[in-house]
């Protein structure tokens, strides 16, 4: 497993990590959780991501239980959790007030059965709380030893900039990384909007939903398989996704995935899912790609993406860009040489 630095920090994180949204403690409970975490660990994954709100707190509980049962040494693990959505809906049980950041962190640690997490993420930005309160509260959490670093998730570039400015002004620790959605069908936010931040702050991303929830495996190309996330999950967002897949835009995306699957099989000798994962992992601004899995075989299968990364030559990447047709427009250069968005020091 290759390791990269998590953003502008000294923390070495595996290029592929494992997350628990919907699966661990949710659709997967008991021994199968252990099997999935074990499959990840045995294949070099030592970073596990969860959140206070996943499965109403059960994801943290299950992850903590398995960590204990597998007898891992704490310093060999990197555990990340996230605060914002809460597990209760009282006026101070959600969001990023100092009160919820501190109380929420303590509750997460209790559920996990751990003394600290490695990184605590603000699961969304909170427009109702002054940024100084947010930055000070995450610094308190770090000073107390509840977390070693903090990060953001699905924040805008402007919000991340503000957090950096406030931290600099106050001599405090800034967020080290952004946990964001990034995959072949979702590029503008992580690639174009964040481009200046990669340079200015050495921002690193911990990428979520790299398979677009499974759609980029190609398994939805001919309908909804019975045991798939879209068939199993009952929330409205998944019903909306099923409707989306039937819409003309959804069908256009499925057609793109069919073409990419063809390229994966015929030119790269791999599966669509492995191509999609390798494509995100090859981006140098990606610190870690968080895998989601409902079965241990998925973890093992997905890690074969590591062998696909060297096959993504500039010619192959150009073909992928042509098929998908969503390469973000570069920032205007006003006649000067453009900066390479994937390299800190080179001009194109
Ligand atoms: N910060 C945030 O706001 C945020 C948001 C979302 C996720 N996350 C984090 O990112 C993690 C990953 O997100 P995600 O679960 O959406 O990732 P994903 O990789 O896009 O989707 C994972 C799902 O795809 C299916 N799948 C995976 N590998 C497969 C394979 N080889 N063959 C067939 N199906 C396969 C499985 O679903 P089924 O088998 O059930 O169909 C699996 O649960 C989460 O667990 C969480 O830790 C963070």
For residue 113, the Cα-to-chain-centroid distance in whole angstroms is: 23
Q: Is 26 in the pocket of ligand 1 (CB under 6 A)?
A: no
Predicted confidence at residue 113, as pLDDT, reads 98
- Kindly report which listed range (136-145, 184-193, 323-332) carries the lowest average pLDDT score: 323-332
Task: Identify which of 209, 219, 274, 300 to mutate to test ligand 1's pocket (most ligand atoms within 8 A of the CB).
Answer: 209
pLDDT of the residue at 333: 85
Residue corresponding to tokens 């990419």: 260
DSSP 3-state of 3: strand
Tell me what the pLDDT averaged over the chain comes to: 96
**pLDDT at residue 332 in the model:** 86
Q: Whose CA is nearest to atom 31 of ligand 1?
A: 298
Structure tokens at 347: 């001009």
330 Cα: distance to centroid of ligand 1 (angstroms)? 29
Confidence of residue 112 (pLDDT cuts 50, 70, 90): very high
Q: Counting atoms of ligand 1 from 1, which one is nearest the CA of 228?
A: 41
- Of all residues in the chain, the percent with pLDDT exceeding 70 is 99
Q: Is 54 a catalytic residue?
A: yes
What tokens were used for 54?
Answer: 């996943």
Cα 143 versus chain centre, distance: 25
Taking the alpha carbons at both ends of the chain, their separation in whole angstroms is: 31
How much is the average pLDDT of 212-233? Answer: 93
| pLDDT score recorded for residue 183 | 98
Specify which residues 290 forms β-bridges with: 17
Task: Tell me the C-alpha to C-alpha distance, in Å, between residue 143 and each of 14, 109, 146, 147, 173.
Answer: 25, 15, 8, 8, 10
Q: Quick one: pLDDT at residue 338?
A: 81
Centroid of ligand 1 to alpha carbon of 128 (angstroms): 30
Indicate if the pLDDT at residue 330 is higher than 90.
Answer: no
Count Cβ atoms below 10 Å from residue 121 Cβ, excluding itself. Answer: 28
Whose alpha carbon is nearest atom 36 of ligand 1? Answer: 293
What's the longest Cα–Cα distance across the chain? 60
pLDDT score, position 36:
98
Each residue of 148-175: pLDDT tens digit? 999 999 999 999 999 999 999 999 999 9
Which of 14, 21, 210, 257, when mutated, tests ligand 1's pocket best, judged by the most ligand atoms within 8 Å of its CB?
21
CATH class of the domain comprising 3-217+278-324: alpha beta
- pLDDT for 146: 98
Question: Is the pLDDT confidence value at 235 over 90?
Answer: no
17 lines ligand 1 (CB under 6 A): no
Query: Mapping DSSP to helix (H, G, I), strand (E, B) and coil, where does residue 211 land?
Result: coil
pLDDT beyond 80 at 142: yes
Q: Would you list the domain boundaries of the chain?
A: 3-217+278-324
286 pocket-lining for ligand 1 (C-beta < 6 Å) = no
Q: How would residue 281 be classed by pLDDT, with cut points 50, 70 and 90?
A: very high
pLDDT at 54 over 80: yes
Instruction: Give the Å distance between the CA of 209 and the centre of ligand 1.
Output: 5
Name the band, by pLDDT with cuts 50, 70 and 90, for residue 346. Answer: confident
Give the closest residue (by CA) to ligand 1 atom 21: 213
Task: Say if ligand 1 is within 6 A of residue 179 CB.
Answer: yes
Best residue among 82, 219, 292, 294 to mutate for probing ligand 1's pocket (most ligand atoms within 8 Å of CB) is 292
Q: Give the distance (Å) from ligand 1 centre to CA of residue 211.
A: 7
CA-nearest residue, atom 33 of ligand 1:
217
The DSSP output letter for 131 is H
Both structure tokens of 330? 């570069």
User: How far apart are the CA of 282 and the centre of ligand 1, in A?
Assistant: 19
pLDDT band at 344 (very low <50, low <70, confident <90, very high): low
Nearest ligand 1 atom to alpha carbon 121: 1
C-beta 229 within 6 A of ligand 1? yes
Ligand 1 lined by 210 (C-beta under 6 Å): yes
pLDDT for the residue numbered 341: 67
Q: How far from the centroid of its chain's Cα atoms is residue 263's Cα?
A: 25
Tell me the average pLDDT across 208-215: 97
Report angle CA 224, 280, 206 to the nearest 5 degrees.
100
Mean pLDDT, to the nearest integer, of 242-249?
94
The residue among 175 and 332 whose pLDDT is bigger is 175
Task: Work out the average pLDDT over 74-79.
Answer: 98
Which pLDDT score, from 0 to 100, does residue 88 have?
Answer: 97
Rounded average pLDDT over 112-130? 98
- Bridge partners, residue 204, by sequence: 177
**Distance from residue 213's CA to the centre of ligand 1 (Å):** 5
Number of H helices, E strands in the chain: 13, 10
């Amino acid at each position: 497993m290759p390791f990269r630095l998590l953003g502008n920090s000294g923390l070495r994180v595996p290029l592929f990590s494992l997350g628990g949204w919907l699966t661990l403690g949710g659709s997967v409970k008991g021994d199968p959780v252990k099997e999935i975490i074990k499959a990840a660990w045995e294949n070099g994954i030592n970073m596990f991501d969860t959140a206070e709100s996943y499965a109403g707190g059960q994801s943290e509980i299950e992850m903590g239980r398995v960590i204990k049962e597998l007898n891992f040494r704490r310093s060999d693990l990197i555990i990340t959790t996230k605060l914002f959505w809460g597990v209760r809906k009282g006026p101070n049980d959600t969001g990023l007030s100092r009160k919820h950041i501190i109380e929420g962190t303590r509750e997460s640690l209790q559920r996990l059965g751990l003394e600290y997490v490695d990184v605590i993420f603000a699961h969304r930005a909170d427009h109702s709380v002054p940024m100084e309160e947010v930055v000070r509260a995450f610094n308190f959490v770090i000073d107390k030893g509840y977390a070693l670093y903090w990060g953001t998730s699905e924040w805008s570039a402007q919000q991340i900039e503000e957090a950096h400015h406030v931290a600099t002004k106050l001599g405090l620790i800034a967020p080290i990384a952004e946990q964001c959605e990034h995959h072949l069908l979702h590029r503008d936010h992580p690639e174009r909007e964040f481009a200046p931040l990669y340079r200015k702050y050495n921002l690193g991303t911990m990428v979520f939903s790299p398979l677009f929830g499974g759609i980029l495996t190609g398994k939805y190309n001919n309908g909804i398989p019975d045991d798939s996330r879209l068939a199993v999950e009952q929330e409205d967002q998944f019903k909306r996704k099923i409707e989306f897949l039937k819409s003309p835009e959804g069908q256009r995306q499925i057609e793109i995935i069919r073409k990419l699957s063809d390229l994966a099989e015929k030119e790269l000798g791999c599966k669509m899912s492995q191509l999609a994962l390798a494509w995100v992992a090859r981006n140098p601004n990606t610190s870690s790609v968080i895998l989601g899995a409902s079965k241990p075989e998925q973890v093992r299968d997905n890690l074969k993406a590591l062998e696909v990364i060297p096959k993504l030559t500039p010619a192959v990447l150009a073909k992928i860009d042509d098929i998908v047709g969503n390469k973000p427009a570069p920032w205007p250069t006003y006649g000067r040489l453009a900066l390479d968005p994937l390299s800190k020091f080179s001009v194109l």
